[in-house]
Amino acid sequence: MKADKVGSAFILFRSEYWSRDRLVRCASYLFALIAWEVTGYVVGPLFLAGPTQVVIALREVVLSGELLLALMVSLQAFAVGFAAAMASAIPLGMLMGRFESVERFFEPYIAAFFVTPVSALIPMIIIWFGIGIEARVVVVFSFCFFDIVINTFNGVRDVRYELVEPVRSLGATQRQIFMKVILPAAAPFVMSGIRLGLGRAIRGMVIAELLLATTGLGGMIVTYSAVFRTDVIFAVLVVIVMLGVGSVRLIKAMESRLFPWKETSTIRGGFEGSARTAPAPAEG
Amino acid sequence: MGSKILVRNISKTFVRKGDGDEESAVEALKDVSFEVADQEFVCIVGPSGCGKTTLLRIIDGLIPADAGEILIDGQAVGAPAQDRGMVFQTFGLLPWRTVAGNVAIGLEIAGMESVKQKPIVQRWIDVVGLAGFERYYPHELSGGMQQRVGLARVLAIDPVVILMDEPFGALDAQTREFMQEELLRIWNQEKKTVIFITHSIDEAIYLADRVVVMSARPGRIAEILRVGIPRPRWDHDVRGTKEFAELRAHIWKELRKDGHGVVAPPGD
């Protein structure tokens, strides 16, 4: 994308920056903001605060330090839960992909838990873990664990035969095949598992704060809804959305950095960031 | 010239499990024996399903034979090792490795220090004509160039025998002829023993010292023919000679006896 290269505000004044795709995107944002503002004005701030009021409320909670404090509390449970999920789900997924007996052993539970709405387990989590940080960590963990397991498992299991065979033909040991073929071939799948898991972990984080002890960002939503401060509620929601979108973007950027070899020949062709496939040079 | 490779009474049957308890067996190879001399170029032609790929995989050690043995320099061979190198029809390059990385993999597996790998890798990249493309990824290369990498990867481990499983089968006709010529040049320089599988009669005659003709169900050797066309073959129109035409007609007739006709007609 051109903007990254130039990195200057003056880019906004260049005509080539305003491609058709960008214009459509901007028009979409503009439309949403205007609709939101008008609706807020019509129904009143008790039901829906408009964007301008949300910005003012955001400034308020940032300056008072309340938002930062809530954010730290939320991120604590999130970080521990997500790290624990990665540390256990990636090895488990790999073992399942590599050894059929391990897959047989765990598959039914993974399948069952994957379709179970974790929110429905929250009463049990309260009974077992209380409503403190431990319980919130468990909720975050159970929200994202299965996405990471399943993606890692698929990545390892579906490594193409045509990739393994030539390396085996060169006399590689099982260990070398795993390290030099299976691991790098599965890495992009593990990464997309992490990306999907991250989104779910953030959802889990907020849900835990809504349904367990009212604390963190979710706690702010509960507290301010009791006093009908829709402006603050939306300010917190904006923060949560930015957190999610920002971290997913970060991982996507890491993915294209780590896996430059990934062919990006999708049916969408020109979708943003996918115009990377260089034309094959002519023979000879 | 003593015999380098001895293929002795190789048989292989694949058992396929059906839905229930029923098992169906396919006899892929039946009592296949032949010899390959040192530095000889042998092509195996045969219809689809005659077991030629299976035979090559057994020689490489990727799958075991049910009966018989493979001797190289008098030694029985088992699991894949670096005395044999195989070039695959689907290239089999690792997409996350660059050209240089793909050529180096055999050396890495052998445990060679990376400082020592570099000159060897560069040498073979130069030999196959890919100098300047060291840092390209496979998906940035054309099919012909990818197979050059596949060949360099095998040459880098300096094998005694090179096994090629329809290596140019996925390439277009023009690239294919160009690659055949290149292969002969490299073979002429390096003096390796080559077993080359193809379903194209023309390709077999153009490349080989001898052509092994196989027939299907069960896979067995129908005939072994010597190609007397003088080398080098790239400096004159080999395909237009009388001997070429006669050999082609003969092999075609031999393959037609099989009744299946599932083989590329002359001129492919």
Per-residue pLDDT tens over the stretch B19-33: 666 778 888 899 999
Instruction: Considering only residues A186 and B216, tell me which one the structure prediction assigns the higher pLDDT.
Output: A186
| pLDDT, position A264 | 56
Distance CA A138, CA A208 (A): 9
Query: Which residue numbers of A have CB closer than 8 Å to B's CBs?
Result: 162-163, 165-172, 176, 180-181, 184-185, 187, 259-263, 277-278, 280-284
Residue B100: exposure state from Cβ atoms within 10 A (0-12, 13-18, ≥19): buried
What end-to-end distance do the CA atoms of chain B give, in Å? 33
Distance CA A178, CA B161 (A): 26
DSSP B71: E
Can you tell me whether residue B259 is helix, strand or coil?
coil
DSSP B159: -
Helical packing angle, A230-258 and A51-64, nearest 10°: 80
Are the beta carbons of A259 and B96 separated by less than 8 Å? yes
Distance CA A192, CA A248 (A): 10
The tens digit of pLDDT for each residue in B92-143 reads 999 999 999 999 999 999 999 999 999 999 999 999 999 999 999 999 999 9
Any A CB within 8 A of B176 CB: no
Distance CA A185, CA B96 (A): 8
By C-alpha distance, which of B213, B198, B202 is closest to B165?
Answer: B198
| pLDDT, position B218 | 85
Please tell me the pTM assigned to this model: 0.80
Residue of B nearest to A160 (CA): B92
B244's CB contacts (< 8 A; 6+ apart) are: B205, B206, B229, B238
The tokens of B109 are what?
Answer: 């597996």
* Number of neighbours of residue B29 by Cβ within 10 angstroms: 27
Helical packing angle, A183-211 and A122-129, nearest 10°: 80
Are the beta carbons of B82 and A170 separated by less than 8 Å? yes
Q: Give the E-state strand segments of A99-170 in sequence order.
A: none
Q: ipTM value of the model?
A: 0.88
The tens digit of pLDDT for each residue in A234-253 reads 999 999 999 999 999 999 99
Are the beta carbons of B142 and A169 separated by less than 8 Å? no
Identify whether the C-beta of residue A135 lies closer than 8 Å to the C-beta of residue A125. yes
CATH number, span A46-258: 1.10.3720.10
| pLDDT, position B3 | 83
